[in-house]
Amino acid sequence: MKFLLDITLDEAASSEDKARELGRILRYWAGNVRHHPLEPGDGSAVYDADYKEVGAWRVVAS
């Protein structure tokens, strides 16, 4: 299987803010994946700290 995570970060944000937000997203989803079957076709939207959709993750066959 392949786990794909596609995130769009705010281009106007500083490098520090981008790194902080990406780190938060990765920590959250790393802890959350155990709640999903992780089979091809599984996936979900990804939200930033302001609950704005910034991307998605999905599982595909390898």
Alpha helix stretches (DSSP H) within 1-62: 15-32
Residues 12-62: tens digit of each pLDDT: 999 999 999 999 999 998 888 899 999 999 999 999 989 999 999 999 999
Burial class (CB in 10 A: 0-12, 13-18, 19+), 30: exposed
Burial class (CB in 10 A: 0-12, 13-18, 19+), 27: exposed
Global pTM value: 0.82
Neighbour order of strands in the sheet with 43-47: 2-7, 53-60, 43-47
- How far apart CA 25 and CA 47 sit, in angstroms, is 8
